[in-house]
Amino acid sequence: MKKIYVGNLNFNCSDHDLAAMFSSHGEVVSAKVVLDRDTGRSRGFGFVEMSDDNAAMSAIQAVNGQEIDGRTLTVNEARPREPRGGGGGGGGGSRW
C-alpha cells in the first residue's frame, strides 16, 4: 500500500472529492483532507492511500501539476512523519 501527499487543494475539497481525483487510477483505500484542529477548516492538503504501488505511482505522475478547482496540485509520495519535538519546556531557574 502506498500513501500519497496531495498539496495545494482548494479549501472546499472534501475527502470524497479527493478520493474521486485518484479513483480512475486504481483502488483508493482511504482519502483524508487534513483539517485545522481549531477551526475545522481544510488546511489545503491531504493524503490518499492506494492499494497498488504501481497504480499509486501512475496516479502521482498523472495528477501532479494538474489544475483542479483553480489550484495547481502538488502530488508526491508521502514521506514518514518527522518526529515532533515536544514535551519539554524547561523548568529553568533552579540551582539544585
Residue 32 to residue 9: CA distance in whole angstroms: 12
Q: What predicted TM-score, i.e. pTM, was given to this entire model?
A: 0.83
Where do the domains of the chain lie, and which CATH numbers do they carry? 2-67 (3.30.70.330)
Alpha carbons within 13 A on the beta-carbon side of 10: 12
Name residue 77's beta-bridge partners: 4
Q: Please tell me the predicted confidence (pLDDT) of residue 90.
A: 57
pLDDT by residue (tens digit) across 45-90? 999 999 999 999 999 999 999 999 999 999 999 988 788 776 655 5
Residue 37 has pLDDT above 80, yes or no: yes
